[in-house]
Chains A and B, each alone.
Chain A
């Protein structure tokens, strides 16, 4: 590490400077700490001196008269003078040179005082040697010099003028002072060597720490620089991602809007096609109208798929979690798809493997959509053999319970390398498939996203030329209190027989319906359907006109039996118009009409005050049935 610094003079200078600072900081800390230690020691010595004086010579006597001995006063006042000045300096300016030297002098004077108080006992001289060792805690050789000078001076003065007080004899050689000083210096030498070594170690430690700090700084600077780069890159990535997401959202919104715009005229096209089919009789015309209807339906499916996908990608798709019957869902799918299979000449078999929950917590609409899509694909790509739906419960105790639907076909199969591409939008196994079988390639993509939305997954096993097995799993929700059905067979499935309506019955005969709809084509189509069912239809182009008409009819005592309210209109939309009517106390049924098909949309309509909800494109029979269900039924809002 040091070699790095020596190779760079500036770094070396920095490290040396820092090492010197650290060394000085450490020394200051040691000085202050030792100052505090000496405060304790000096106070202790002062108290000990007073106790010793009281113990040894409490009083002086003159015959029968006594008074406090001078030694006691000396211990208190002279000892206090010696003690409290250095203690004050520690409080005022701890760690300074003056404080240190005053403490050293004070310590030696304390020794002199104690020698006096003890009557010149030679044992008290050991206090000097102990004090010198203690002063070495400062790790400052100069302090020892101060202390030694004081000791030497004290011994010299007393040795010359009062030798008995320090040497225990009345007549001492002048060299004896130097002998005593020599012993003190003898100790000083050892202490100086110790201090020198200690200082060297402190310098080395400071140097080491400074080098370490500098290295850390270099590393931290490098890390910071790289982190900054990474943060910058992350920011750029985030911005790019946000842009991409925004573009994606824009695309999805555009698609959703466009799909909606296409759906509206398609509603009219398909609706009128149905009407035409009922009226035309010439074979060629019927064929032409059916072709229009077939292509219209294909286009409608395509638009629905695109709408679904764009909703999924825009994150706007929502799911319900309600109790739904597994048998009902499977029955619906089989009812719908069995006709197609029969048309191709093979059966659509159903099997239940093991116990099946009576109901699960899921979104039945989406589940149905998934199964219809996959079963539809299986039928589409199968020419001979069969298509089978196997349903089973995967109730592993370690995992959340799931319901599995296996759709097994004996169709053309899918090459292994194409399986991964199946779930990509607008992609089929290969281009020839599209040409041969048609389709948008969106079905599996949507199904996969929907399955994931329902807490499951899709997997595929396939043998080219032998067939494929699509395995769909969905979460069942908790099954704690759900009854399991054992030995479920195909006989349990109720397939729906589609009965043709009885054209002779007019379910809305003489009923007054207000149709609030801004689209002239839909006005004509829905109006025609309602009139065909026997209703008297009044048209309103927007919500405001609708409100005025409804209020006027009510005030005349002849209100409309039902209001069909489109929710998206200019001037005043269906939500605001419904709310306004309800606020004025309008209690007749209001049924919402909207191209949006989500549950949240339904709830939004109900919240606005609507009694029910019908989606576009309209199913003629369902609409009539719905309207009829509200005739003569008192409304409570």
Chain B
């Protein structure tokens, strides 16, 4: 009897086990069919958010300041009396300024001998004398007609109200402001932009239909002294 009972019950239990396993597999398959695409959508959404965040960072301009409409009287920078003078303030370690120098090179190439360019690299007080001599300094120095000088502690920047690296000011021979703003379209991005177009028009034609107050994209030039620790002073 026992043997018969065993032989009869075993197939049933096996069959039930098989049915359960099959159902489990089907359920799991159904879940994976739904879950993975859902996870994929979430993944795409997160990437979208990340991209947007980066985008936001790149198109956010530097701090806008009041404009110095005429050449500051106490400035130590030599202004040309024969042709317009372009003054460009830069942070020597700002990666975004690399694009600004590329745009500056284009201006020089397109408007040869039409402008006198003074580029000032900021060096905070207490930093070594060579701190500002970065690849940006070398790149700027390599552009013909560009005079590169060090702006210790941002003295000149403060005079010209420059707060963002890449801030450019174009003055005529009389010391009147023709243009001020950035010469890149976004942070670290080279390419055609309003600022460069305006400067080129002013130099070539003496006038421009472009906006003469372009946004500046770059690192804060002077920063905040109180947040700078000793670690920065290398």
Interface of A with B (CB < 8 Å)? 56-66, 69-71, 74, 77-78, 81-82, 85, 89, 93, 98, 102, 105, 109, 112-113, 116, 119-120, 162, 164-165, 167-171
Give the residues in chain B near A109, CB-CB below 8 Å: 47
Q: Is B68 an interface residue (CB 8 A)?
A: no
A60 and B164 CA atoms in complex are apart in Å by 12
Asked whether, in the complex, the Cβ of A162 is within 8 Å of the Cβ of B59, the reply is yes
Contact A78/B227 with A63-B124, A63-B220, A168-B191 known, Cβ cut-off 8 Å: no
Give the residue name and chain of the B residue nearest to A105 (CB): B44
B149 at the interface (CB under 8 A from A): no
Contacts of A102 in B (CB 8 A): 40, 43
In the complex the two chains form, what is the Cα distance from A122 to B7 in whole Å? 76
Does more than half of chain B's interface fall in helix, strand or loop, or is it mixed? Answer: mixed
Show 28 residue pairs from A and B whose CB-CB distance is below 8 angstroms, ordered by the A residue: A59-B93, A60-B95, A61-B93, A61-B220, A61-B223, A62-B223, A62-B227, A63-B154, A63-B220, A64-B127, A64-B225, A65-B224, A65-B228, A66-B232, A69-B95, A70-B54, A74-B54, A82-B47, A85-B43, A93-B36, A109-B47, A119-B98, A164-B189, A164-B191, A169-B191, A169-B192, A170-B191, A171-B192
**A64/B124 in contact, CB under 8 A:** yes
Chain B residues with Cβ below 8 Å from A81 are 43, 46-47, 50
- Give Cα A78–Cα B59 distance, bound, in whole angstroms: 18
Asked if B233 is at the interface of the complex by the 8 Å CB criterion, the answer is: yes
Please, which residues of chain B bring their CB within 8 A of the CB of A70? 54, 57
Tell me the smallest distance from the CB of B126 to a CB of chain A, in Å.
8
Contact A65 to B54, CB < 8 A, known contacts A164-B191, A169-B192? no
Complex CA–CA separation, A326 to B229 (angstroms): 120
Query: Do the beta carbons of A168 and B227 come within 8 Å of each other?
Result: no
Task: Given contacts A63-B228, A93-B36, list 10 more A-B pairs with CB under 8 A.
Answer: A60-B94, A61-B220, A61-B223, A63-B124, A70-B54, A78-B47, A120-B190, A162-B55, A165-B55, A169-B185
Q: Which residues of A contact B225 (CB under 8 A)?
A: 63-64
Residues of B in contact, count (CB < 8 Å): 51
B99/A119 in contact, CB under 8 A: yes
Q: Give the complex CA separation of A164 and B59 in angstroms.
A: 10
Given A63-B222, A63-B228, A64-B223, residue A78 in contact with residue B191 (CB < 8 A): no
Query: CB distance B232 to A170 under 8 Å?
Result: no
Within 8 Å by CB of A162, from B39, B186, B194, lies B186
Residue B145 interfacial (CB < 8 Å)? no
- CB B80 to nearest CB in A, in angstroms, measures 29
A93 and B32 in contact, given A63-B220, A119-B190, A164-B189 (Cβ under 8 angstroms): yes
- Specify which chain B residues have a CB less than 8 angstroms from the CB of A98 in the assembled complex: 36-37, 40
Q: Which residues of B contact A168 (CB under 8 A)?
A: 189-192
Taking a contact as CB atoms under 8 Å apart, the answer to whether A78 and B51 are in contact is yes
- In the complex the two chains form, is A62's CB within 8 Å of B54's CB? no
CB pair A62–B224 under 8 Å, yes or no, is: yes
Question: What distance in Å separates the Cβ of A46 from its nearest Cβ neighbour in chain B?
Answer: 13
- B182: min CB distance to chain A, Å: 12
User: What residue in chain B is nearest A59 (Cβ atoms)?
Assistant: B93
B220 A64 Cβ-Cβ under 8 A: no
A74 → B minimal CB distance (Å): 5
Q: How far is the CA of A82 from the CA of B225 in the complex (A)?
A: 38
Q: Which of B37, B95, B229 has the most CB of A within 10 A?
A: B95
Cα-based distance from A113 to B47 in the complex (angstroms): 10
Asked if B58 and A165 sit within 8 Å, CB to CB, the answer is yes
Look across to chain B and name the residue whose beta carbon is closest to the beta carbon of A102: B40
Asked if B154 contacts A120 (CB within 8 A), the reply is no
User: Is residue B175 contacting chain A, with contact meaning CB distance below 8 A?
Assistant: no
In B176-234, which residues have CB < 8 Å from any A CB? 185-186, 188-194, 219-225, 227-229, 232-233
Q: Distance in Å from the Cβ of B167 to the closest Cβ of chain A? A: 14
In the bound complex, residues from chain B placing their C-beta under 8 Å from that of A77 are 50
**Are A65 and B232 neighbours in the complex by a CB distance under 8 Å?**
yes
* Complex CA–CA separation, A61 to B219 (angstroms): 6
In this complex, what residue of B is CB-closest to A169?
A: B192
- B71 interface hit (Cβ, 8 Å): no
Kindly state the separation between the CA atoms of A65 and B91 in the bound complex, as whole angstroms. 11
Given A105-B44, A162-B55: A57 touches B188 (CB 8 Å cut-off):
yes
- CB-CB nearest in chain B for A170: B185
CB-defined contacts of A89 to chain B, threshold 8 Å? 36
Would B232 and A64 count as touching, CB distance under 8 A? yes
Q: Which of B7-52 contact A (CB under 8 A)?
A: 32, 36-37, 39-40, 43-44, 46-47, 50-51
Report whether A78 and B189 are in contact in the complex, using a CB–CB cutoff of 8 Å. no
Q: Are B186 and A164 in contact (CB under 8 A)?
A: yes
Contacts of B229 in A (CB 8 A): 65
With both beta carbons as reference points, the residue of chain A lying nearest to B39 in the complex is identified as A85
> Min CB distance, B17 to chain A, in Å?
26
The closest CB in chain B to the CB of A158 belongs to B55
Contact A60 B188 (CB under 8 A): no
